[in-house]
Structure 1
């Protein structure tokens, strides 16, 4: 897909690698100036250096003051903020256990990034968006587990389900300002984390990969670039009547049961 994002500034969290890196590449290729935001400042700087018009921002989105500083850095550099992609998120590799055994500190870590951080980031970014009076786009990266729960990852499931309803609430509140809010629910995407879990020979759940793939009608994991294309669609001027929606990019995972 091609669209014209020239003159627009996109702030993407979790942009130093994986899905976030694919998103910034796609938005930049369509003319947007990019704020590459990540808790990994060095990684963000490397990504920004490879883009035609970008700055790197190191930010822990759980920290309200750091988030405010990141938005201020953006407006100092570009004078505006048009697109926010809330992509940053974490899960756990070590603690795939039932809720009765799930460590409380790990719950707080995951929900703190995946849901609280998204709230803080949106709250701060909306100030220049609304003040600018030009509208804007917010794209929240949720997950298929926010639509259909899975076992043994309760905080991740809860946070992603929260993102979906928060997206809808934001869509209702922000539409009068010309700001459209939507979410993407990725299925199994081939990132470094999923490679460790499923797709590498030494993956923690490698033995279950074949059965897992049978549940996905397309029979394969997705690529980060396929999520980036969905983000581009929702950020494009042409998607001007899409608001409060959740787009599952999952190879058909949530369509029903493969029997």
Structure 2
């Protein structure tokens, strides 16, 4: 789609990753200035260099000082912040095990980034958005596992489900102040991480990929660019009356059970 985001500043976390790159490319192509925020400093610089108007910032969303520095640089550079895309997140690859044996430290790592980090990042980013009084948008990147649980990844499932309800709570609280908050629930997306699990020749669960695809009515994984299109829509003037919603971009995965 095409939309006019000229003059808008979008702060995107996890922007150096696969889905993050898909998001920032679509927002930038429609006129937004992009704050490319990632814990990977080199990756953030590389992505920013590929965009027409972008500021790379290094941020660890678990650390309040790191977040504060990133938001302060945004305001110093652009004077405003209009769109926050909470995309940064992690899952586990080495610990695909039942809840009764799931490592506690891995639980804290995943929930600490996927849910706590999103909360910390949002609190700080809201300060300039609310102070400006121009309204704004928050788009949280959740997951289909927040809508329909999957096995062997209990902290990721719990964090994404929490993110979805947090999105709804934020919509109730921020809507009266002109800030619309929505979430996107990606299904299986073709990234470097999913290649290590399913889609690469040496993927950890490569033998199960064909069966996995049978549960997706469209029969394929999505692309980062398709998530970027959804973010663009929820960031655009065309979605001005959408608030508190969860948009599944999953090829039909959550529509029902495929026999």
Q: Is the structural similarity TM-score above 0.5?
A: yes
Aligned partner of residue 243 in structure 1, secondary structure: coil
- Aligned residue for 1:60? 60
For 1:36, the equivalent position in structure 2 comes to 36
Deviation at 1:226? 0.5
The corresponding residue for 1:49 is: 49
CA distance in 2, matches of 1:199, 1:3: 33
**What is aligned with 1:83?**
83
2:174 maps to which residue?
Answer: 174
Offset, 1:238: 1.2
Listed one character per residue, the Cα deviations across residues 127-157 of structure 1 (whole Å, up to 9, x for unaligned) are 0000000000000000000000001000000
How many residues end up aligned between the 2 structures?
259
| 2:118 is the counterpart of 1:118 | yes
SS at match of 1:51: coil
Gaps of 5+ in 1: none
1:26 aligns with 2:26: yes
Superposed counterparts of 1:213-252, under 5 Å: 213-252=213-252
Shift of 1:64: 1.1
Residue 201 of structure 1 deviates from its aligned partner by 1.4
Q: Deviations over 1:30-78 (max 9, x none)?
A: 0000000000011101111111111000010000111111111100100
Q: TM-score, normalised by structure 2?
A: 0.99
Distance across 1 between alignment mates of 2:93 and 2:117: 20
Helix, strand or coil at the partner of 2:52: coil
Match in the other structure for 2:101? 101
In 1: Cα distance, 2:155 partner to 2:71 partner: 27
* CA–CA distance in structure 2, aligned partners of residues 172 and 78 of structure 1: 28
* CA–CA separation in structure 1 for the residues paired with 2:226 and 2:53: 23
Aligned-residue RMSD, C-alpha: 0.5
Q: Is 1:190 aligned to 2:190, yes or no?
A: yes
1: distance between equivalents of 2:46 and 2:202?
Answer: 29
TM superposition shift of 1:177: 1.0
Give 4+ residue runs of structure 1 displaced > 2 Å after superposition.
none
